Structure 1
Amino acid sequence: MTRLTDQAWLNDPATRAVVAALEAAGGPGCSRFVGGCVRNALMGRPIDDIDIATTLKPEQTEKAIRVAGLKAVPTGIAHGTVTAVADRKPFEITTLRRDVTTDGRNATVAFTDDWAEDAARRDFRLNALYADAKGQVFDPTGQGVEDAAAGRIVFVGDPATRIREDYLRILRFFRFFAWYGRGEMDAAGLEACRELASGMTRLSAERVSKELMKLLAADDPRPAVRAMADTGVLAQVLPDADDLALFEAVVTRMDDPVERLGALLPLDANLLRRVTEGLRLPNATRDRLTDMAQAAADVDLNLTDHALRVAVYRHGRRAVRELLTRRSGETPSRSGDGDRLRALAATWDAPVMPVGGKDIVGLGVPPGPETGRILKAFEAGWIADDFPVEGHADRLAALITPPRG
């Protein structure tokens, strides 16, 4: 028997309080930890969320949590999920389920008290693992523990059947490999993803983008992205992704999924805006990528120190540094130049233009187009002189009252 040991979360008073509440209503063994917390404990990975499966019906779960003096939130009660909050920590508790009908994106479920039925509807064998309050692990598929140890991502049962239940499982297959996989990807799973990739058009953009960005946040997503391209899955998700060579060259120099997404796409502001809006990504993501594209003409590895400062002033530090990372990938032999310029961009704080319209009006120029012209001329000279911190009054006066010859 496999047992979880030395798990602080398992012995945490908040965890014990939730389990005790459930067992007070359903008896010993009515609940087990499930999925990610069990998988990650076996794999020596951090535990982010604690999910619990139970034979109690949702209404019974909610009542049991409240009777114990804990907070109960009916987060998805129609699908059997209640969130318990103990010591400000959330625990998602879901009644054992079996699928009644599925349409590739949603499922109608019925509740059950059969642990094997609940396991059979899960996506991958290493996610169909359960553990009781003492840490004893239950492996209904008989291979989940071995998969976790070997870093294998294998569908529960027939891969095509699992995918047809929810086409998002195609992306999850690659995402879980990026995070947990080792060695070669499961051949049967890859083939099913290849054959059924077109079914992803049924999915909402929000679900797709959430999985995609999680995948790109893995330490090294390159093998997974390469396999997505080979199976036609990447073309379904990002049809404009056109340069895997660049992505593979720069991805380990990037630790941000947004930056990595940009490395998969051309530096075209209109295209990036269309892609990010199509995926329903946040406006901040859209703006970040389009800002980088708009700065592209001003950033390369030949920049002088002054030209770099001008680029940072005009386009912002982040856009310039991310472009330099990309340029280093385009010309690996000059990555040292890119590193030096990135370091300079990181340490130089772009100043605010030291004069404004009120300063010009104060010198007797009435508000109007002339004010704008003078400001523009002042800024051009100030930038050309490398952003001096003194002499602003004399420079401004010279623009207002040109010297007589």
Structure 2
Amino acid sequence: MKPDGLTLPDAPWRHWPGLDRLTAALGTGNARVVGGAVRDTLLGIPVSDLDIATPLDPQEVMRRLERAGIKVIPTGIVHGTITAVSSGTVVEVTTLRRDVTTDGRRATVAFTDDWKEDAARRDFTINALYADPDTGEVFDYFGGRADLAARHVRFIGDPLRRIAEDHLRILRFFRFLARFGDSPDAASLDACTARANDLMALSRERIADELLKLMVAKDAVRVIALMLERGIFRPVLPEIASVERFARVEALESEAGIEADPIRRLAALLPADASIAESVGGRLKLSNAQRKRLIAATDADLFGAPRAAAYRLGRDEAIDRLFLFDAEDAVAAARDLIDWEIPRLPLAGGALIQRGLTKGPDVARALRAVESQWIEEGFPDAARVEQIADAVTDQALRSTSSE
């Protein structure tokens, strides 16, 4: 297929060091940038990752690059992918592929030299755009340019077939709709609705990865509301029943100038129930830190003040509680926490031993008492901490002597 006349605008990635050496090593016509880099360049979005497609088989790719002195790492060579490092620029190079068999979770592929066949196995038209990295000429096999201009997210070919090949594409459809789309393709939306139960066959790690990306997409509120209307969450996360709290949290993050946070937003979709948060965190196989935070976000306690909560729980955890429970002056408090350097108690147990306490439980109790008073007073300076330590130590020694 000849290029259709469109040329990519100039972009920083087109001048990355070593990229021209890499494409020259592969040979004229044997390298095209594909997918997100082309899509995002057409939209004026910065590109951080570069994928190159080639009709050359993986072994030939490795031979040509190594001959040109380019470092090659066979990261996924069985599937046709190698990682090339050229003058510090890291690029994934993948041989054109076609699907042989699929089961909704993974595919068996064969290599091909047909660009359109490679494009046909991709998910959405806007992700099946190719461009010559040297000339910038764009190759569009399935109307991706028009869909991108119309902010239209559409499966390539038959949506039901695309979903049958990889069930995760249901969640990807909604994530891309939240990031790039103004209106969903009707056939694609209906197919996702009809096959929502297929999500149950996926690993929970894959579901979690897509879900957390969806949480922070720019149009997540509208799209999550659509997913609820269509019953998309029901097979894997039936606990999600409303988007209203999510919308409030999104608005508060925006007003405070705080970056969207996926765990906070996931918590906003769930009931404020620790057992539910624990169940969802386990089901999605979130990290231990993410699970702990999700559970902590079910409690509104700020320990008397936002700074106290930040000290005891962590900055993000305190902001979670401010936003999730509509705390008074939540935006101002969150802004304060962002700028506040969380202090450390300027006192150690040794200072209490020097005051006469016996090493062990007595010191630990006294230190906790000093810390609690310090927090309650709003984290005063070291001189005030010394006064608090004197008073706590005196009280502890009197209690010991009266026993």
Task: Give the drift of 1:399.
Answer: 0.7
Task: Give the drift of 1:46.
Answer: 1.6
In structure 1, the partner of 2:284 is 279
Please tell me whether the aligned partners of residues 40 and 47 of structure 2 are also in contact (alpha carbons under 8 angstroms).
yes
Overall identity of the aligned pairs, in %: 44
Please tell me whether the aligned partners of residues 168 and 203 of structure 1 are also in contact (alpha carbons under 8 angstroms).
yes
> C-alpha distance in 2, partners of 1:238/1:154?
25
CA deviations on 1:241-260 (whole Å, 9 max, x unpaired) are: 23311111221433122221
In structure 1, the partner of 2:152 is 152
Q: How does 1:5-404 map to 2 (within 5 A)?
A: 5-23=9-27, 28-132=28-132, 133-141=134-142, 143-182=143-182, 184-254=183-253, 255-294=260-299, 296-298=300-302, 307-328=305-326, 337-389=329-381, 390=384, 391-402=387-398
* Bigger helix fraction: 1
Please tell me whether the aligned partners of residues 374 and 399 of structure 1 are also in contact (alpha carbons under 8 angstroms).
no
Q: Are the structure 2 counterparts of residues 237 and 362 from structure 1 closer, same or farther at C-alpha, using a change threshold of 3 Å?
A: same
> C-alpha distance in 2, partners of 1:217/1:308?
24
Q: Are the structure 2 counterparts of residues 80 and 297 from structure 1 closer, same or farther at C-alpha, using a change threshold of 3 Å?
A: same
Please tell me whether the aligned partners of residues 101 and 108 of structure 1 are also in contact (alpha carbons under 8 angstroms).
yes
> C-alpha distance in 2, partners of 1:8/1:381?
54
TM-score, length basis structure 2: 0.87
TM-score, length basis structure 1: 0.87
Q: Are the structure 2 counterparts of residues 386 and 399 from structure 1 closer, same or farther at C-alpha, using a change threshold of 3 Å?
A: farther
- RMSD of aligned alpha carbons: 2.5
CA deviations on 1:222-256 (whole Å, 9 max, x unpaired) are: 12212221222222343222331111122143312
Q: Are the structure 2 counterparts of residues 84 and 369 from structure 1 closer, same or farther at C-alpha, using a change threshold of 3 Å?
A: closer
Q: Partner letter of residue 50 of structure 1?
A: L
> C-alpha distance in 1, partners of 2:339/2:11?
42
Task: Give the drift of 1:369.
Answer: 4.3
Task: Give the drift of 1:165.
Answer: 0.3
Q: Partner letter of residue 257 of structure 1?
A: P
SS at 1:138 equivalent: strand
Q: Are the structure 2 counterparts of residues 225 and 116 from structure 1 closer, same or farther at C-alpha, using a change threshold of 3 Å?
A: same
CA deviations on 1:200-222 (whole Å, 9 max, x unpaired) are: 11111221111112222222311
Task: Give the drift of 1:343.
Answer: 3.6
CA deviations on 1:237-289 (whole Å, 9 max, x unpaired) are: 43222331111122143312222122112233333233223212222322332
Q: Are the structure 2 counterparts of residues 66 and 394 from structure 1 closer, same or farther at C-alpha, using a change threshold of 3 Å?
A: same
In terms of mean alpha carbon deviation, does 2-11 or 64-73 score higher? 2-11
SS at 1:211 equivalent: helix
> C-alpha distance in 2, partners of 1:386/1:50?
49
| Unmatched 5+ stretches in structure 1 | 300-305
